[in-house]
Amino acid sequence: MKAIVAVNNKLIWNCPEDLKLFRKLTTEKVNGRKPRLLAGFNTFVNLPILEDREVILDKRNGFILDVDWVIGGAKTYEKYKDYINEWHVSYIDNNSEGDTYFNKELLKNKLVHEYYFR
């Protein structure tokens, strides 16, 4: 089964529990400071939930490594796959079609935390 992350640069489901989890995880302090989140361009401009966070925009030509979370999207996960040690993955039931997909191969041989929502 394919893992959809978006369509037309938007999330296709409305899952408050997942957003709550995202917020909880990505606001927990790291060494006493606010966590640094890295986002790809399409995610950065399309996710309003990020307003109050310290979000670093990925560089088109280059890497940014001093971050605590890579928050997507699909292309950014691929780009940073070798530097991501641990994944937090939410599975949400949905029958819609998408146009952006998560490559599940990226989870192989990594520590994966899984969450299931309806």
Ligand X SMILES: NC(=O)c1ccc[n+]([C@@H]2O[C@H](COP(=O)([O-])OP(=O)(O)OC[C@H]3O[C@@H](n4cnc5c(N)ncnc54)[C@H](OP(=O)(O)O)[C@@H]3O)[C@@H](O)[C@H]2O)c1
Which residues are CB-contacts of 89 (< 8 A; sequence separation ≥ 6)?
107, 112, 113, 114, 115
Measured from the CB atom, is 31 or 96 closer to ligand X?
Answer: 96
9, 44 in Cβ contact below 8 A? no
Task: Give me the least distance between CB of 44 and ligand X, in Å please.
Answer: 7
Tell whether residue 11 is a contact of ligand X (CB under 6 A): yes
Piece of the chain touching ligand X by CB under 6 A; list 24-32, 41-49, 80-88, 110-118? 41-49
* Total chain residues near ligand X (CB under 6 A): 19
Tell whether residue 70 is a contact of ligand X (CB under 6 A): no
Distances (CA, A) of 36 to 61, 102, 110: 20, 22, 21
CA angle centred on 113, ends 35 and 37, rounded to 5°: 20
User: What backbone phi and psi angles, to 5 degrees, belong to 103?
Assistant: -85, 105
Task: Give me the least distance between CB of 6 and ligand X, in Å please.
Answer: 3
Task: Give me the least distance between CB of 34 and ligand X, in Å please.
Answer: 19
Which residues of this chain interact with ligand X, rule CB under 6 A? 5-6, 9-11, 40-43, 46-47, 60, 71-76, 100
